[in-house]
Chains A and B, each alone.
Chain A
Amino acid sequence: MSWTRPRCAISVGRFIVMKSEREAKRPAMSKNAAAIVRERARLIRRSALEMIVQANIGHPGGDMSSADIMAALYFGVMRFDPKKPLDPGRDRFVMSKGHCSGAFYSTLAMAGFFPEADLATYMKPLSKLNAHPCRAYLPGVETSTGPLGHGMPVAVGIAIAGQIDQASYRVFVLTGDGELQEGSNWEAAMTAGHRKLANLTLIVDRNRLQQGARTEDTVALEPLADKWRAFGWDVEEINGHDHAQLLDVLSAPATPRQKPLCVIANTFKGQGVSFMRDQVKWHHGVPDAAQFALAMKELEA
């Protein structure tokens, strides 16, 4: 039995579309695509910080490190219709690092899955926006996360469903780097490598900090790229704050690929806010009034 994705899509399955059609449906890469993503990322950062200050709780470090990745996916790469959040043909995004909900919810709201006004309810009593996203509460959330190491297996399952149906959708999953200490990721990595899930793209938000210290001082992940290659994956290492690079690597069509893709996005925790950048103490925390004012000033256009 071969799990290799057909190079040329001949229409036999329900969801299959011809290659030309598939390419046409994806957002066209334009010269200003990177500029659009950059602007969205700035707005995501501002929104996440506003939410955290309003809620007086949150994980700003990871929100800031992942903002560019989120912006690239939702405003440059993925194919979806926020009015049809369960459309069988949609591209899927699985937010495995569920604690970065400030960035995630901001992105979903900006993408039109729910009103941006709802962001003001973040972690307020009875809000649908608790600290960790719940599929049953919000459109656009593909699976509930919060405990780490849950996103990868779910993304692998979606990718297998797509493989069975020969569907054209792609599956993206974002994990933290410290999160990769959870063994369930590597169970899923083995399955994905074995089944050659070319429709699956993992992005590792490689900010090198976990809750209390550097990943390499806690339980070292390096050589991380070699680990993924050994599990049967292609690996791309990029600057996770470089919008053109993100678009380039993430937009590459899945079709010519024969393996799942791991994108190691080298980032900085707290990116975009000078006093948070690469500071472990901003894994979670709330800026005071002066810090918030400074952060928002730094995140002006």
Chain B
Amino acid sequence: MSAATSTMTKRFDCRDAFATTLESLAERDERIVVVVNDSVGSSKVGGFAKRWPHRLINVGIAEQNMIGVAAGLANGGKIPFVCGAACFLTGRALEQIKADLAYSRANVKLCGMASGVAYGELGPTHHSIEDYGWLRVMGQIGIVVPSDPWETSEAVKAVAASEGPVFVRVSRMAVPALEHGDHSFTIGKAEVMRDGKDVAIIANGVMVHRALDAAAALAKEGIEARVISMASLAPLDETTILEAAATGGIVTVEEHSVRGGLGGAVAEVLAAKMPCRMRLLGFPGFLPTGSAEFLMEHYGLTAEGIAAAARELAAAR
């Protein structure tokens, strides 16, 4: 168990950890290639492109083609990391992801940049808050949602070493580095960031920081909230979910639609094996105009909002 906090003030863009790790892997493994839809800068793969120009495949603004090309590169023995804005990468090429990657079991790594509502004011066309649902229902594609630079770096290493298609969300929202103690990152395993017996908060991505802040606030009121980072949305760590259900209440928090995402995944496990009261925090659907920070506050995806939901569940035990 790691005693994690989010009190450090220095903030990081996880894309930097992503790019650095990818380059260090590419130094040792020439099979690693990058595929982009004209998204070199926004994916921070300019360094990669400079070092290995022949291993950076820019297919232009053509997402369907991008996914098919990646499947073909995998067929040719490469390990393609496909980098593009999460909204276009998933939604625009969904059938290619289904047929060419998931159904074909192609060894392709999808890296959804600027995921969630990171594009804020650019609006719902540019938000990627449907991707968990779209990909999760296929059941044949891993989904990894790291929360900080360390987890991003570990996730990139883990997906490179794994066989088969995986989607990794890489946020562009600056976040603090969390303490992970001696935890080792494994796809399919959650990390308990803080223990607690009164209620459990399951979050991933940028929401983990807010969940930890909520738990710190609740502790001052005498409510011990367990905080779980569910970086691996698929495959899901059912054991940790069922253990969390023993607290009597679970709050899920995600930078995603409340339908079909993390909350839905947790609810599916609980409904079948250990029904438990839940509060699902996330976005209702297409969002109004506003910055990412505004939208999160507007929909209660804040430490206060999470604490309120957890408090309610703890009180109702």
Instruction: Identify the A interface with B (CB < 8 A).
Output: 1, 88, 92, 134-136, 142-147, 149-150, 152-162, 164-165, 167, 183-184, 187-188, 190-191, 194
List A contacts of B139 (CB < 8 A). Answer: none
Q: Give 8 closest A-B pairs by Cβ, nearest first.
A: A157-B72, A153-B68, A161-B76, A187-B65, A157-B69, A187-B62, A158-B72, A184-B64
Q: How far is the CA of A183 from the CA of B68 in the complex (A)?
A: 13
Interface 9-mer from B97-105, B223-231, B294-302: B97-105
Whether B67 and A153, one on each chain, are in contact in the complex, defined by CB atoms closer than 8 angstroms, is: yes
Interface 9-mer from B49-57, B184-192, B245-253: B49-57
With A1-B53, A145-B99, A164-B54 known as contacts, the answer to whether A154 contacts B75 (CB < 8 A) is yes
Q: Count B interface residues, CB 8 Å.
A: 32
Q: Of A136, A146, A159, A164, which contacts B33 at CB under 8 A? A: A164
The proximity string for B residues 70-102 relative to A, scoring 1 for CB distances below 8 Å and 0 otherwise, is 111111111010000000000000011001100
List B contacts of A142 (CB < 8 A). Answer: 75
B270 in the interface (beta carbon within 8 A): no
Q: How far is the CA of A136 from the CA of B103 in the complex (A)?
A: 7
List A contacts of B284 (CB < 8 A). Answer: none
Whether B69 and A191, one on each chain, are in contact in the complex, defined by CB atoms closer than 8 angstroms, is: yes
List A contacts of B72 (CB < 8 A). Answer: 143, 153-161
Secondary structure at the A interface, as helix, strand, loop or mixed, is helix
Whether A191 and B100, one on each chain, are in contact in the complex, defined by CB atoms closer than 8 angstroms, is: no
A-B contact pairs, 17 of them (CB 8 A): A134-B104, A143-B75, A143-B106, A144-B99, A144-B104, A146-B99, A147-B95, A150-B100, A153-B69, A154-B75, A158-B73, A161-B77, A165-B77, A184-B64, A187-B62, A187-B64, A191-B62
List A contacts of B275 (CB < 8 A). Answer: none
B4 in the interface (beta carbon within 8 A): no
Q: How far is the CA of A194 from the CA of B65 in the complex (A)?
A: 14
List B contacts of A190 (CB < 8 A). Answer: 60, 62, 65
Q: Of B65, B74, B76, B103, which contacts A188 at CB under 8 A? A: B65
List B contacts of A144 (CB < 8 A). Answer: 99-100, 103-104
Whether B75 and A156, one on each chain, are in contact in the complex, defined by CB atoms closer than 8 angstroms, is: no
List B contacts of A135 (CB < 8 A). Answer: 103-106
List A contacts of B100 (CB < 8 A). Answer: 143-144, 150, 153-154
Whether B96 and A150, one on each chain, are in contact in the complex, defined by CB atoms closer than 8 angstroms, is: yes
Q: How far is the CA of A175 from the CA of B53 in the complex (A)?
A: 31
Q: How far is the CA of A18 from the CA of B106 in the complex (A)?
A: 31
